[in-house]
Chains A and B, each alone.
Chain A
Amino acid sequence: MPLPAPVSRLCRRLFMAGLLAFAVPATAAAQLTIRIDDPNFEPLPIAIVAPQASNDDERSTAGRIAGVVTANLEGSGLFRAIDPSAFVQRDGSEVLAPRFNDWKGIGAEALITGRVFHRTNGDIRIEFRLWDVATGRQLVGRRLETGRANWRRLAHKMSDAIYRRLTGESGYFDTRVVYVAESGPVLKRVKRLAIMDQDGANHRFLTNGKNLVMTPRFSPSAQEITYLEFVGEQPRVYILDIDSGQREIVGEFEGMTFAPRFSPDGNRIVMSLARDGNSEIYAMDLRTRATERLTRHPAIDTSPSYAPDGSRIVFDSDRSGRQKIYVMNADGSGVRRISNRPGRYATPVWSPRGDLIAFTKLEAGAFFIGVMQPNGEGERILAQGYLAEGPTWAPNGRVLMYYKKPRGGTAQLYSIDLTGRNERPMSTPEDASDPAWSPLLED
């Protein structure tokens, strides 16, 4: 299938110049921080000044970059962008010499200033600074440069740098989401893999809808996707190279393979194989093609997910008579059940930070999205719906995405932060299910 110009080639052109040796060095002792796990915190008021520009083209770029940064930071639920019409200092000198009393006067606690340059080689360069308004200190000063068509990634990298400096957590804005786009009548649904930036931009379809596809997951490099595709009446696990569009089957097995995920080092696929109707979990080494059976039980064992260090696998099984969540060592030894409450527990996903496991829960006719610790304690429900399923973690382990479908309605993607107070629908061209969040993209 023909695909648009490879995105990652542009991505690879993204040039991070790193920290500039600006006059005011960033210090680690800044007071301005956001406690993102404090349930009572107020969004931080931030003034985002469109980067200074010297012609109309640059001004247009500057405005679009400021728009993306604003949407990212506000979308996190952690920031409140101050309306630019309230800005007092707007003479250009704010870029290097903010009059902090003016910014205090309009309630800003953080301030972003910068400059944008259209370079003759076709690149865009941006220099930006994040200021602590109370102390007048510069917290971040950075220069970024990339090809002009790739301008959104500059805005995402900026957003990540700001988020990281103010929360102490890595960001998640320079990421992508792969999901299943759904169209057509309910009884003959057309499903296509689709990919988009985390904010919905740069959307494109990866498969043509001829075959039923589901449950995509990114490789650690974010260059490949493993997923389930029905070829004829044969549901099998495949790996798709995003740039080339090349597709490769994962092993030739007698029986259905499904529920695939990459290992954290990208060398293995863990998945279910149903042989004679019995779904067991297998791991396959992608270099040697050696497969290893990890579970041995007549029950349905599926939806595996590696711990971030690769040492353990969490999965769901109905071996107790009902679907519950279990943890085992990566070689299949030491299986133990971790979910002990009533209800069905499914699709466990280990957080990239390792501290939590997200899951789907079914109880009393409703679906829930929640998190628990790897020992099964500290369960918290974050979202619910008539159907709500398949959580996926942002790479910083602070935000989840999943899909929900109201009774009689259509499936849609949502994100929510771990406090559970910032649930946001994602806008997609078609109905959407089975999201998977990429790692932070490489420079």
Chain B
Amino acid sequence: MKLKHALAVLAIALASVGCSTKPPKDGGANTRVTQSELAKPGPGKSWQEYTAPSRNGYSDRVFFAYDRFDLDKDAQATIRAWSEWMRAHRDATVLVEGHADERGTREYNLGLGAKRATAIRDMLIALGVNARRIRTVSYGKERPAVAGDDDDSYRQNRRGVARPSTGGA
């Protein structure tokens, strides 16, 4: 995500540089390039907008180190954003999925996915989300996000995913 943000900012910066190649008629003395982050969608938006990469949204997933279930700083920031969304959508419930990469045995990975989903659930609860609004499921290594068998694919598959639904518990 960080890379995407940087690229988006760079694209905007390049576009404004492109505009400034022709000598502007007036006010052209400004040679400074100003840049700022686009505001993320507020928690009042729909989950789709809130987590839409094209709108610079928050991610709907967090990632884990190999054979670990602790939440790093990025994961914690993302889960905090999820909790804000949950606060703004009082009728929403969320299914938290825990997943593992394929470099573990099938049954152990089910156990690992359960620990990952539970770590996320526990943090949501600590942030004030009612436990009754959260369900967890472990898919182990059964539902990879990407099909590859390299380190980047493994990294993308070791994940926890939030799937909220609104209207009815």
Q: Does B138 sit at the interface, judged by CB under 8 A? A: yes
Q: Does B29 sit at the interface, judged by CB under 8 A? A: no
- Whether B103 pairs with A256 at a CB distance below 8 angstroms is no
- Whether B142 pairs with A189 at a CB distance below 8 angstroms is yes
Tell me, in angstroms, the Cα distance from A235 to B106 when the chains sit together: 13
Known pairs A187-B143, A189-B142, A212-B142; A259 contacts B107 (CB<8 A): yes
| A residues in contact with B136, CB < 8 Å | 277
- Whether B114 pairs with A277 at a CB distance below 8 angstroms is yes
- Whether B112 pairs with A214 at a CB distance below 8 angstroms is no
- Whether B106 pairs with A389 at a CB distance below 8 angstroms is yes
Q: Does B13 sit at the interface, judged by CB under 8 A? A: no
- Whether A256 pairs with B107 at a CB distance below 8 angstroms is no
Q: Does A56 sit at the interface, judged by CB under 8 A? A: no
| B residues in contact with A407, CB < 8 Å | 149
Interface 9-residue window, one of B16-24, B35-43, B76-84, B115-123:
B115-123
Q: 1/0 contact trace for A334-356 toward B, CB 8 Å? A: 00000000001011000000000
Q: Using CB atoms, name the residue of chain B closest to A386.
A: B149
Q: Does B95 sit at the interface, judged by CB under 8 A? A: yes
Report the minimum CB–CB distance from A121 to chain B (whole Å).
Answer: 47
Known pairs A387-B102, A407-B149; A272 contacts B142 (CB<8 A): no
- Whether B115 pairs with A390 at a CB distance below 8 angstroms is no
Q: Does B147 sit at the interface, judged by CB under 8 A? A: yes
Which of these, A233, A272, A303, A318, contacts B137 with CB under 8 Å? A233
| A residues in contact with B144, CB < 8 Å | 186-187
Report the minimum CB–CB distance from A77 to chain B (whole Å).
Answer: 27
Q: Using CB atoms, name the residue of chain B closest to A277.
A: B118
| A residues in contact with B114, CB < 8 Å | 256, 274, 277-279
Q: 1/0 contact trace for B131-168 toward A, CB 8 Å? A: 00001111000111111010000000000000000000
Total cross-chain contacts (CB, 8 A) = 94
- Whether A279 pairs with B135 at a CB distance below 8 angstroms is no
- Whether B108 pairs with A300 at a CB distance below 8 angstroms is yes
Q: 1/0 contact trace for B74-117 toward A, CB 8 Å? A: 00000000000000000000010000001111111011101101
- Whether A303 pairs with B105 at a CB distance below 8 angstroms is yes
Tell me, in angstroms, the Cα distance from A278 to B145 when the chains sit together: 24
> How big is the A interface, by class?
35 or more
Tell me, in angstroms, the Cα distance from A344 to B137 when the chains sit together: 25
Q: Does A252 sit at the interface, judged by CB under 8 A? A: no
Tell me, in angstroms, the Cα distance from A323 to B104 when the chains sit together: 10
Which of these, B104, B106, B135, contacts A434 with CB under 8 Å? B106
- Whether A279 pairs with B149 at a CB distance below 8 angstroms is no
Known pairs A187-B144, A279-B114, A300-B111; A389 contacts B138 (CB<8 A): no
Tell me, in angstroms, the Cα distance from A387 to B144 when the chains sit together: 15
Q: 1/0 contact trace for A356-390 toward B, CB 8 Å? A: 00001010010000000000000000000011011
Interface residues of A (CB under 8 A from B): 185-189, 191, 212, 214-215, 228, 233-235, 256, 258-259, 272, 274, 276-279, 300-303, 316, 318, 323, 344, 346-347, 360, 362, 365, 386-387, 389-390, 407-408, 434
Pick 23 A–B contacts, CB within 8 A, sort by A: A186-B147, A187-B144, A189-B143, A214-B106, A215-B106, A233-B137, A235-B110, A259-B107, A272-B107, A274-B114, A277-B114, A277-B119, A277-B136, A278-B115, A278-B118, A300-B111, A300-B115, A302-B111, A316-B105, A346-B105, A362-B103, A362-B104, A389-B106
User: 3 tightest A-B contacts by CB?
Assistant: A277-B118, A300-B111, A279-B111
